[in-house]
Amino acid sequence: MTNLEIIEEIERGLEPTFKNIEKIAYLNQKKVLDAFKEMGVSTQHFAGTSGYGYTDKGRDDFARVVAKIFGAEDALCSPHLTCGTHTIATALYGLLRPKDLMISITGRLYDTLENTLYGKDNGSLESLGVSIKYVDLKDSKFDTEKIYKEVKKYKPRVVFVQKSRGYSDRKAISVAQMKEVFAKIKELSPKSFIVVDNCYGEFVETQEPTEVGADVCMGSFIKNIGGSLAPTGGYIVGTKIAIENIERRFTCPSLGRETGSYEPGYRLFYQGLFLAPHVVSQAIKGSYLIGEVMKRQGYKIIPETDEVGYDIIKSVVFDTKEELIRFVQLIQSLSPVDSNCLPEPYPMSGYNCDVIMAAGTFVEGASIELSCDSPIRSPYIGYFQGGITYEQLKIVAEQLVDFKENN
């Protein structure tokens, strides 16, 4: 059999999985289209503004569309939120005050937030007098007994949840799991803000965390929700009171969301948001195809082919550092941009070890486009995600069929 024939056989086995992914994309597309219609999105929303940007209609109505999709009261969406890390940090600084406590119920936060949480005299939350506690996951699930005990005892200002796996060997958390736990947390501590890092989670399921009780949910526009077209930025959706607290930190208490111009205008944000459910489905389908190709060669993958995943990532566990590096390099070589570049492990700001990244992307570093990133530490896990078209991922899968043999 040729590699392509092998891939086509795997595709036939994946048909039920693909049908399910397409169904979710269909329902999310409907949700997005309905929000666009209801908000009356029109060409005038695409005009840019300069200077202070007061009453920027494109900006303000875009936030309303996003809030609607997330079933949230309010939203802050901005190209001036520079990335996911900045977006999450802005939300935390907005909600937490000196002497407040935050409990993360999914263990440690994403690596790049470490210096936002800790450090003396660096403006970190710790240096401002905020304390942070953790309840680790148990088998990729909430440790409910411990969470309820801690929440009841401390009534923290913020209960933090990271939906996606980050650089760990766990699975992502489903919205269904959140629903049950959030209801109980609200009962035990009604004033706590439940805050969800939703990076890589948007449109993977038919509901978002704010539809099941999260007070705040946020992420990056160069991941799922930007649909590969948004050039930069972040979104924060949630309750009115939470967003008010956060917008004062985003700019300053006198201004909130009233200022912030963007001369290029928001067309690519609207268009990317409209495409996002479909693009996410392409990426997830491709991740199952590539995952199965690696699994057949003996590599452990997370989630497994017969499991439903709750983010767009597939983890592949390699035996050696060299194999991991070769995998990342192969992904780069099959990218539409910078295919001739050879990625190498490198120290990066925000990470405590060398990192290797493949991102041959149109929007620099956008991980809704095919990309792969891995800290160089044992166990050697390649985390790959994204892909604007399923067909590109099929080409990658075809090349990976004899990956092990070529060692």
Ligand X SMILES: *Cc1c(COP(=O)(O)O)cnc(C)c1O
Q: Name which position in 162, 192, 287, 335 contacts ligand X (CB under 6 A).
A: 162
Residues that contact ligand X, how many (by CB under 6 A): 13
Measured between alpha carbons, how far apart are the two ends of the chain, in Å?
Answer: 21
Write the DSSP symbol of residue 123.
-
The DSSP letter of residue 109 is P
Answer whether 106's CB lies under 8 Å from 113's CB.
no
Stretch that binds ligand X, among 140-148, 160-168, 237-245, 335-343 (CB under 6 A): 160-168
Which of 166, 213, 260, 309 binds ligand X (CB under 6 A)? It is 166
Q: Do 198 and 42 form a contact (C-beta atoms < 8 A)? A: no
Least gap, CB of 88 to ligand X (angstroms): 6
CB of 201 or CB of 277, closer to ligand X: 201
> How distant is the alpha carbon of residue 375 from its chain centre?
18
Rule CB under 6 A: say whether 208 interacts with ligand X: no
Which of 313, 317, 316 lies closest to 284, judged by CA?
313
Give the C-alpha separation, 316 to 318, whole Å: 6
According to the binding rule CB under 6 A, does residue 200 interact with ligand X? yes
Examine residue 110 and tell whether it contacts ligand X (CB under 6 A): yes
Quick one: 50 or 349, whose CB is closer to ligand X?
349
| Choices 53-61, 197-205, 298-306, 333-341; region in contact with ligand X by CB under 6 A | 197-205
DSSP-assigned letter for residue 39: T
303 cis-preceded (ω within 30 degrees of 0): yes
- The smaller minimum CB distance to ligand X, of residues 103 and 199, is found at 199
Tell me the angle at which helices 240-250 and 84-95 cross, rounded to the nearest 10 degrees. 110
At 305, list the tokens.
């082919």
Name the residue whose CB lies closest to ligand X: 84
Of 76-105, which residues contact ligand X (CB under 6 A)?
83-85, 88
Q: Name the one range near ligand X by CB under 6 A: 7-15, 42-50, 159-167, 257-265.
A: 159-167
232 binds ligand X (CB under 6 A): no
Instruction: Determine if 70 is a binding residue for ligand X (CB under 6 A).
Output: no
Q: Which helix (H) or strand (E) holds 380?
A: strand 380-385
Q: Where on the chain is the footprint of ligand X (CB under 6 A)? A: 83-85, 88, 110, 112, 162, 164, 166, 197, 199-200, 220
